Amino acid sequence: MRDPRYDILFEPVQIGPVRTKNRFYQVPHCNGMGHVYPQTLARMRGIKAEGGWGVVCTEEVEISPLSEIAPHHEGRIWEDRDIPALRLMTDAVHEHGSLAGIELMFNGYATPNRYSREVPIAPSALPVRSRDPMQARTATKRDIANVRQWHRQAAIRSRDAGFDLIYVYAGHDLGMPMHFLSRRTNRRSDEYGGSLENRVRLLRELIEDTKDAVGDRCGVVVRLAVDQLLGPLGLTFDNEGRDVIGMLAELPDLWDVNIADWSNDSQTARFSPEGFQEPYIAAVKSLTTKSVVGVGRYTSPDAMVRVIKSGVMDLIGAARPSIADPFLPRKIEQGRLEDIRECIGCNICVTGDNDCVPIRCTQNPTMGEEWRRGWHPEQVPGKRSDRSVLVVGAGPTGLELTRALGQRGYEVMLCEAEDQLGGRLRFESRLPGLASWFRVVDYRLQQIQRMSNVMVLPGNRIGVEEALGSGASAIFVATGAHWRKDGLGRTHRAPMIDPGDPSVMSPDQVLRGVVPAGPVLVYDDDHYFMAGALAEQLARSGIEVIYATPATKVSEWTEQTMEQSRIQSRLMELGVRILCAREWAGMRANGAGREVDLACIYSGRIETVTVASLVPVTMRDSHDQLHQDLLSVETSWADYGVLEVSCLGDALAPATVAAAVYAGHKAARAFDADDAQMAFRREWIDLRSP
């Protein structure tokens, strides 16, 4: 039963001619599906509507081949033939009484048009926003008129596809109306340039055009980046952003407030707290009588009630929390707060869009698999037998495997060698800014502890005899991995460091509290978060740190999670000496310390640094000994009633926490299932269609 304190979250809100059933609003977010995987996309959005989100929006939807963002998989509404694919989504959303919103996109110089090969247009001639060696041309008056016409046609098609809310997109420093607004990208001297009134003209015209075209049937939403966070180099809220809102305050039916660019608006938990955008959203709310929606990575209903009652916003916008738990609104409504899978703010979801593949989530392993595998975030098939299961290892994989098997109804014994559960996340979540990552453990432990069919045994190291004698018919080995100390990794395909050298420490040792003597060299050939986070932790403790990597940037892969620049900036602020494009070339003793030779990856020039200790962050080795030992006695399994032994997660092949959770969930669904049940569907193009 719903707590009356949260009643305000379930009040309807009028948005122009349409009305939401509650205040939960899934804002537009990319997902790596778009026009390429319409069935996959529709099912994912439909699940969110089923989970109680009163408004469910698309990702960016291209209105013209003159502004397309291939190879990224966004939506398309170029012509009438695109309507049926989009209607799959609106039908799925309407089935559960929710409103469907579409974010129409013409991004100008932010879209290099790699597929259409059309020359991009911009307010003024500029290099395209991507790294492509090409420029956008200055838009003519005819171009501007065409953009208005394409937008109007797309709005009408959107209405015909069943959408209830139509976006005019000027957000994230991507939408072309934003480019006209900012002096940074608009050097025009005609009626679309110069004064703020002129620069706001295109945005005003698009809003008016859209309202004229569909305003009697659809609400019109403006998504605006009110601050580019560039200081005097760009649009700031206090310098012109506030005035833009003042000029247009009552024109749209809803304001969707964000800050530019996307990496600023969707900062990870490592660099921003929940609700850090609130001052901007509240300022917009104070300037208009129309409803306002904003995001803040909110997962607590108390925080949601606070921002509504305090007048910060009218609707609780969410992208990442709706990905981590599509049923978040329903759980609040049903008084099941303990069942909410809280977003950890890791931005693994962003990597799917960046890699042009369907979205994934650390907390929610069913995200992106709703249609192709038929996975529901809250439902799993019941047990098909009375078989019992032994799970060895209580890290992310073992916990998710145990939780899902327990939900299915199987008897499960979970054994963990350590006295505490959580595996790698016990230590990784202690790194600077990563405390929220332990939510992965908390959620699963909380679920498991309520299951009478699951037995959890911490402090129990399992060997072959114990595993075989457990009485289980299936044994899953999820014993994790450990960091190597010898430097073997991506760049160096053979060991290069003596792991017995007392000056060499593994990341695991540092994570467990061993403090290396300074100066310390953190050598990064992993390129994700670990080396940068360790360097930050050590520097904050007052140790002199040198960070070296063969990559050209610090923590290079975190570009995928939109954190790279912040990680590098933070290390620089902390005084860490950074040596990029440097690979290991040798080490020798120098008194109590070590001289380490680092070679430029381009020239081969050697640079020598003198350190007291070294922490190589290169690769991990699986803890698969138990699995190997069990395989060696496979002929005796039948004597103990054991039918299968599997190794999974980091114990099979180390990867991200998201991959570890997914491995556990997939194994739980595959247990006692046939191959056909586990096969995923593909989306086929019917070549017989016109």
Instruction: Give which of 185, 31, 190 is closest to 121, Cα–Cα.
Output: 185
* Structure confidence at residue 653 as a pLDDT band (50, 70, 90): very high
A 10 A CB-CB count for 599 gives 17
Beta bridge partners of 582: 600
- Domain covering 388-480+623-678 in this structure, CATH number: 3.40.50.720
SS3 letters for 15-34? Answer: ECCEEECCCEEECCCCCCCH
Tens-place pLDDT, residues 301-322: 999 999 999 999 999 999 999 9
* Mean of the per-residue pLDDT values of the chain: 96
A 10 A CB-CB count for 153 gives 17
Beta bridge partners of 136: 126
Tens-place pLDDT, residues 386-443: 999 999 999 999 999 999 999 999 999 999 999 999 999 999 999 999 999 999 999 9
Domain residue ranges of the chain, discontinuous segments joined by +: 4-354, 388-480+623-678, 486-620
* Structure confidence at residue 690 as a pLDDT band (50, 70, 90): low
Indicate which residue of 25, 37, 109, 169 is catalytic: 169
C-alpha 307: how far from chain center? 24
3-state helix, strand, coil in the chain (%, to 5): 35, 20, 45
Q: What is the pLDDT of residue 307?
A: 98
Q: Say whether 346 is catalytic.
A: no
Please say if the pLDDT value at position 2 is more than 60. Answer: yes
Structure tokens at 240: 């012109």
Q: What is the pLDDT of residue 687?
A: 66
How far apart (Å, rounded) are the C-alpha atoms in residues 636 and 195? Answer: 83
Tell me the percentage of the chain whose pLDDT exceeds 70.
99
Indicate which residue of 164, 173, 265, 650 is catalytic: 265
**What's the start-to-end Cα distance of the chain, in Å?**
52
Please say if the pLDDT value at position 591 is more than 90. Answer: no
Q: What is the pLDDT of residue 233?
A: 86
How far apart (Å, rounded) are the C-alpha atoms in residues 602 and 169? Answer: 43
Q: Is 4-354 assigned to CATH 3.20.20.70?
A: yes
pTM to 2 decimal places: 0.96
Please say if the pLDDT value at position 551 is more than 80. Answer: yes
Indicate which residue of 25, 29, 30, 256 is catalytic: 30
Q: Is 486-620 assigned to CATH 3.50.50.60?
A: yes
Tens-place pLDDT, residues 261-309: 999 999 999 999 999 999 999 999 999 999 999 999 999 999 999 999 9
Q: Say whether 30 is catalytic.
A: yes
Q: What is the pLDDT of residue 597?
A: 98
Alpha carbon distances (Å) from 54 to 23, 278, 303, 331, 363? 7, 21, 18, 14, 22
Indicate which residue of 29, 73, 151, 172 is catalytic: 172
Tens-place pLDDT, residues 433-490: 999 999 999 999 999 999 999 999 999 999 999 999 999 999 999 999 999 999 999 9
How far apart (Å, rounded) are the C-alpha atoms in residues 569 and 585? Answer: 27
Amino acid at the residue 378:
E
Evaluate whether 388-480+623-678 and 486-620 have a shared fold.
no
How far apart (Å, rounded) are the C-alpha atoms in residues 118 and 655? Answer: 39
Q: Say whether 243 is catalytic.
A: no
